[in-house]
Structure 1
């Protein structure tokens, strides 16, 4: 399909990295055009059956009178650009990794 949208044209940021389990809530605010864009992109690129089924189900619901939720797409903590985890420092780092007692096969001074 040559008319499939490009990644940067999709209505969901980082669509390719979203877990399919979160997709129904992520697309709830999209209109019919947005769902059709994602469906076209998915068929041309990933062609993942579960994802296509989710998109087709939502598209059918919109065609049957369902309304977009009216809210913008939820944030995507799975692909967040901000770092909120703990930072490793020498004071918080774990112990050094010790080689196994039987020796390291790549180290000639420690035969197996």
Structure 2
């Protein structure tokens, strides 16, 4: 199969999809579409977990599995509502603490003259 271009892939923005969410997205693809994505993956990043996932799905489709419902163009989880700012506030911050210069707070250092 010829090397497909990024813009012709059946999964929009494929290069930026997280591997964890790829499995659910490829379930909606036909065997021809999975072959196209697999050819693109092998000729570009060739990530082993991704090629194994795509190869496994292709074998399932060839064995009679049908594409399931799903939207390959669905919003990616990483582009959802993002939190801004830090959840830490002065009310939830710990009290500042300076470590002792030597020893532990309950065991003070001994002056040199008292050593035996």
Q: Tell me the TM-score normalised to structure 2 length.
A: 0.65
After TM superposition, the structure 1 stretch with the greater mean CA deviation from structure 2, 34-43 or 64-73, is 64-73
Encode CA deviations 1:70-103: one digit per residue, 9 max, x unaligned: 332233132x3x7x33567xxxxx9xxxxxxxxx
Alignment RMSD (CA, Å) = 2.4
Structure-2 residue corresponding to 1:75: 75
CA contact (8 A) 2:34 2:58 kept: yes
Structure 1 counterpart of 2:53: 54
State the match for 1:85 in structure 2: 82
CA distance in 2, matches of 1:72, 1:29: 7
**Runs of 5+ unmatched residues, structure 2:** 90-116
1:67 deviates by 0.3
TM normalised by structure 1 equals 0.67
Does the residue aligned with 2:75 lie in a helix, a strand or coil?
A: coil
CA–CA distance in structure 2, aligned partners of residues 86 and 42 of structure 1: 32
* Structure 1 runs not aligned, ≥5 long: 89-93, 95-112
Q: Is the radius of gyration larger for structure 1 or structure 2? A: 2
Displacement of 1:62? 0.1
